[in-house]
Amino acid sequence: MKTEHAQMTECAAEAARIARAVAAWSDPAVWESTIGGGDSASPAADIAEMLA
């Protein structure tokens, strides 16, 4: 069983990851770009739709 401190640390790390993702997707230019490279590149808006 994890300690309370370990659980709080994991929650804080997850909150930081979510905050970074929200900040990145908040930039309108991101929605017009592609994610991935080469033959596997996909429009960012399509990826966002799959994540919703």
Look up the pTM and report it.
Answer: 0.59
According to the model, what pLDDT value does residue 3 have? 95
Quote the number of domains for the chain. 1
SS3 content of the chain, % helix, strand, coil (to 5): 70, 10, 20
Query: What integer pLDDT is reported at residue 15 of this predicted model?
Result: 95
Could you list the residue range(s) of the whole structural domain that residue 46 is in?
4-51
The number of helix segments (H) and strand segments (E) in the chain equals 3, 2
Cα distance between residue 41 and residue 26, in whole Å: 20
Q: What is the largest CA-CA distance in the chain?
A: 45
Give per-residue pLDDT as tens, 1-52.
Answer: 789 999 999 999 999 999 998 898 898 888 899 988 888 899 999 988 888 7
